[in-house]
Amino acid sequence: QKEVEQDPGPLSVPEGAIVSLNCTYSNSAFQYFMWYRQYSRKGPELLMYTYSSGNKEDGRFTAQVDKSSKYISLFIRDSQPSDSATYLCAMSAGGNEKLTFGTGTRLTIIP
Amino acid sequence: DVKVTQSSRYLVKRTGEKVFLECVQDMDHENMFWYRQDPGLGLRLIYFSYDVKMKEKGDIPEGYSVSREKKERFSLILESASTNQTSMYLCASSFMKNTEAFFGQGTRLTVV
């Protein structure tokens, strides 16, 4: 079993829909959680960063962490064609414990 | 804004060549990382460095080495390039160890 599981998709939704992207993990020591957006042939761009449990909102994006269920989510409201990309989750326990990445979910927003 | 700059976007090299991939960050981060990204395998850590002149092996260091002579610069070296090293190479830096990492634009290396 992988330490971080992420559905690879592809996921296609119509423009304006709410998108939900998810990762599950097995290591209860993880306390730093990140979401990255990666456009084709580009490097990952940090979208959201949260520490421990709870919600964080930034514009159309909301990150949720549920440590009791070992489950994190990224919600995108009013999705736009420019949101079409691969979304990677990443997490770590901090300190010398390296970042662990999901394999990414490919998202397409259909105009 | 954090900027991590990789010296090349695309490279084509021949088998057996020595290849240098350069990465520079402008945010005075102590921590720097090299990953490769392959379809279906995700991001894999090659080497990392928590300080100047310091380096640690990641998950897949075989066939690679690194150099960190200055805080802002972290170089990845392929000693003798092979076709199985064809990949997207990503450099990253972070202020705190193993948290918010900021990535460069990537170098797509093809070894022929």
pLDDT of residue A99: 92
Q: How many CB atoms lie within 10 A of CB A99?
A: 25
Contacts of B48 in chain A (CB under 8 A): 98
Average pLDDT over residues B44-50: 96
Q: How far is B79 from chain A (nearest CA, A)?
A: 24
Residue B40 pLDDT level (bands cut at 50, 70, 90): confident
What does the mean pLDDT of chain A come to? 94
CA-nearest of B30, B24, B17 to B77 is B17
Q: How many CB atoms lie within 10 A of CB A41?
A: 11
pLDDT of residue A1: 72
User: Chain B residues with CB-CB distance to A under 8 A?
Assistant: 4, 6, 40-43, 45, 48, 58, 88, 90, 96-106, 108
pLDDT of residue B59: 94
Q: Does A45 touch chain B (CB under 8 A)?
A: yes
In whole angstroms, what separates CA A61 from the centre of its chain? 10
What does the mean pLDDT of chain B come to? 95
Helices and strands, counts by H and E, chain B:
0, 11
Distance CA(A52)–CA(A94), nearest Å, equals: 11
Q: Does A32 touch chain B (CB under 8 A)?
A: yes
Q: Does A29 touch chain B (CB under 8 A)?
A: no
Distance CA(A59)–CA(A29), nearest Å, equals: 29
CA-nearest of B66, B56, B42 to A38 is B42
pLDDT of residue A8: 85
Q: Do residues B8 and B21 lie in contact, with contact meaning Cβ atoms separated by under 8 Å? A: yes
Beta-carbon contacts of residue A12 (< 8 Å; ≥ 6 apart): A107, A108, A109, A110
pLDDT of residue B61: 97
Q: Does A92 touch chain B (CB under 8 A)?
A: yes
pLDDT above 80 (res B1):
no
Stronger pLDDT, B16 or B40, i.e. the higher one: B16
Contacts of B98 in chain A (CB under 8 A): 32, 92-99
pLDDT above 90 (res A10):
yes
B22: enclosing H helix or E strand:
strand B19-25
Q: How far is B63 from chain A (nearest CA, A)?
A: 21
Average pLDDT over residues B98-105: 91
Contacts of A36 in chain B (CB under 8 A): 103
Distances (CA, A) of B91 to A56, A73, B27, B45: 27, 26, 14, 10
Residue A52 pLDDT level (bands cut at 50, 70, 90): confident
pLDDT above 90 (res B23):
yes
| Residue found by looking up tokens 């949720």 in the block | A64
Residue A43 pLDDT level (bands cut at 50, 70, 90): very high
Cross-chain residue pair A94–B40, CB shorter than 8 Å: no
Q: Do residues B23 and B103 lie in contact, with contact meaning Cβ atoms separated by under 8 Å? A: no
Which of B96, B99, B105 should we substitute to test contact with A (largest number of A Cβ atoms within 10 Å)?
Answer: B99
Distance CA(B104)–CA(B34), nearest Å, equals: 10
pLDDT above 90 (res A95):
no
pLDDT of residue A44: 97
- Percent of chain A residues topping a pLDDT of 90: 87
